[in-house]
Amino acid sequence: MTPRHALLPLALLLTWSSSALAARGFQARDLETMDRFSSPTLSPDGHKLVFAKRVVDYAANKAASALWIEDVPAHDTAHAKQLTPKGWNVNSPAFSPNGKTVYFLSAKSGSSQLYAMPASGGAPSAVTALPVDVDAFALSPDGKRVALAAGVFPACGADLGCTKDKLDGVGKDKSTGVVFDHLFIRHWDTWADGRINRLFVAALGGKAPSKAATLIGADLVADVPSKPFGDMSDVAWAPDGRSLVVSARLSNGDEPHSTNFDLYRLNADGSGTAQNLTAANKAWDAGPVFSADGRTLYYRAMKRPTFEADRFALMAMDLGTGATREIDPQWDRSADGITLSDDGNTIYTTAENLGQHPLFSVDIASGGVTEMVGDGTVSAFVIEGPTLAFARNSMQTGDQLFTGGINGAPVVAATPSAADMLPEVKFGAYEPFQFKGWNGDTVHGYIVKPWNYEEGKTYPVAFLIHGGPQGSFGNGWSYRWNPQTYAGQGYAVVMVDFHGSTGYGQAFTDAISQHWGDRPLEDLQKGWAAALSQYSFLNGDKACALGASYGGFMAYWIAGNWQQPWKCIVAHDGVFDNRMMGYATEELWFSEWENGGTPWSNPEGYEKFNPILHVKDWTVPMLIVHSQQDFRIPVEQGIAAFTALQRKGIESKYLYFPDESHWVLKPQNSVLWHDTVNAWLKQHIGQ
């Protein structure tokens, strides 16, 4: 491939049913029960597409995924065939280098293990039968070995049976106390049990499943991939198969207040010691990718330690000399990953950009950047041979898979859109708007019309506030905070990407740190005024403000600092006492960066924008949602806020989930969440 392949114009993003067929708005049950498509995977020649299709059993409150396959170019979704057998729940597909075999993970045996099956169809066969779960894998370049990630106890070394024995022994002792001597004692939604993620290498092609594997990087005591959301994009095989490079942060007790991930080179045979390639950078290094000749290592790097929302720059390292250079210093966006073109001249990556999330090509020599696929959120992509396959979503559909777009190939939908699956549903139309916010800067937002919009009428408004705070409510699809679920109830939706949001340059993102309550609040206030002046269908007298995480903080902050015009507030998993958040959250680097130090070294930083100090001014009815397994913002934050509301006699409700984390993910719990929130809005602003 060359970096100059032209992408054909995308004539049609979604296939829409006629408005005459649309009889209702989008509902939470639609959100939870629609099929979901993901993991586009191409054969090495680019002629076969494998993808995952997730189907929900709502009555059973669970979902299962199967792999499907179709030819490229696809003609229509009817040509796709289910590859994995019915009754299997599978994930993480990968083609062998010769394209004849598809590998994947499944817990069919009761334990997550690696399986293989012919790409032409047939019965799956187990590749591994390890004593512990295989959590992720990466095939070697020649397809003869595989790197396996598994959670093990460090003291067990390479003995996987030792880890199994220790896990089997849990619960046999009548005492239940656990002693910790360092953080993390819990992370995201899980209490620490002493295990870390480690890499093992096993041979492929044996007559029987592998029951053992070789531990690599034995001296590197670190989670690979990182917890809780790391994946194998942080693991790269060298082209000669003799070593791997991984991104890792040492498990030494400093993890809760460190973002110092380094790139380590490990011998694939388990010999030697780990070599730190990026020790000089105390910030985050991630996503290693080798050049075809193995002489250059490409990766992404941040520059500021302990700041998780710093810009990821694209980097190149000469492995012979160790010299590094930034490829894209003039591109003020944060790259999500690295995919190399066949000729090695181009990096393909996605990045947030002005409320969109396009696919870009970056010329390695010049650093020049070209948008390839825009209009929505490109959530995944793969390029093999002459073929590009990508997943894209928008405010009107979840991920839809496409192929084509380079070398003159037309863009063809390989899976249905939300409108295809729900022809009776009319989705709310959306459009971006902008205004002058804090410091006179241009701030962007989105308006979503209600599904039943009619010219000349006015509609009550759901004012949604995103989390992060370094995040965005842009042109994408969410399974947690989806504006269409409000448009489907007959509400208009207003969303503002206030200072601190991503995709508008690093300085814009930086502006919120140590300014949680002033700059973004000014943007929200000015954005609300701008929306009312630009869109006459918004009923400013019937509006509720809703937010989660940082958005939940802002909901509490609004309750004490901007009571009008809100008729009600919804605060999900919000920070109520910022000082206690600095002590109780698990990823301490976040609170310490955002507040300018620790709670004891800079108490003023934590109290300056602390919602708990403004409870005396609360008057607006509020619904609070919080979950027991949320260790990012512990459940006591929500309980305390509800206590304040009740003691002040303010109309309030508290929705509690004992089995959810920072997100509400179980299908029936999600529907209950939406039903409760929608009922609260209907009670206060009508429908």
> ∠ at Cα 445 (440, 447), nearest 5°?
140
Question: Mean pLDDT in runs of 10 for the chain (687 residues)?
Answer: 34 36 89 98 96 97 96 73 96 98 97 98 97 98 98 97 94 89 96 97 96 97 97 98 98 96 98 98 98 98 98 98 98 98 96 98 98 95 94 98 85 95 98 98 98 98 98 97 98 98 98 98 98 98 98 98 98 98 98 98 98 98 98 98 98 98 98 98 95
Residues 6+ apart with CB under 8 A from 260: 249, 250, 254, 282, 283, 284, 305
Angle formed by the axes of helices 519-534 and 550-561, to 10°? 80
Give CA–CA dist 544/680, Å, rounded.
Answer: 9
Give just the sign of the alpha carbon dihedral 82, 83, 88, 94: negative
Q: Which residue has the tokens 């340059």?
A: 505
**Residue of 662, 670, 674, 684 with catalytic role:** 662
Give just the sign of the alpha carbon dihedral 629, 630, 632, 634: negative
What amino acid is encoded at 299 in this protein?
Y
**Residue of 549, 591, 627, 670 with catalytic role:** 549
pLDDT, position 404: 86
Output the six-digit token pair for 480.
Answer: 């947690």
Alpha helices in 386-518 (DSSP H): 418-421, 483-487, 506-510
pLDDT, position 16: 34
User: Quick check: is 5 catalytic?
Assistant: no
pLDDT, position 405: 76
**Residue of 630, 652, 670, 674 with catalytic role:** 630
Task: Give yes or no for a contact between 647 and 640, defined as CB atoms under 8 angstroms apart.
Answer: no
pLDDT, position 369: 98
Give CA–CA dist 535/359, Å, rounded.
Answer: 31
Task: Give yes or no for a contact between 286 and 277, defined as CB atoms under 8 angstroms apart.
Answer: no
Residue 196: Cβ within 10 Å count:
18
Output the six-digit token pair for 356.
Answer: 């969109």
Q: Where are the domains of the chain?
A: 22-93+377-425, 127-170+182-274, 430-685
Output the six-digit token pair for 530.
Answer: 């701008």
Task: Give yes or no for a contact between 388 and 360, defined as CB atoms under 8 angstroms apart.
Answer: no
Residues 6+ apart with CB under 8 A from 153: 162, 163, 166, 194, 195
The sheet with strand 36-42 has its strands ordered as: 36-42, 48-57, 62-71, 81-82
End-to-end CA distance of the chain: 54
User: Quick check: is 549 catalytic?
Assistant: yes
pLDDT, position 385: 87
Write the CATH number of the domain with boundaries 430-685. 3.40.50.1820
Element (H, E) at 380: strand 377-384
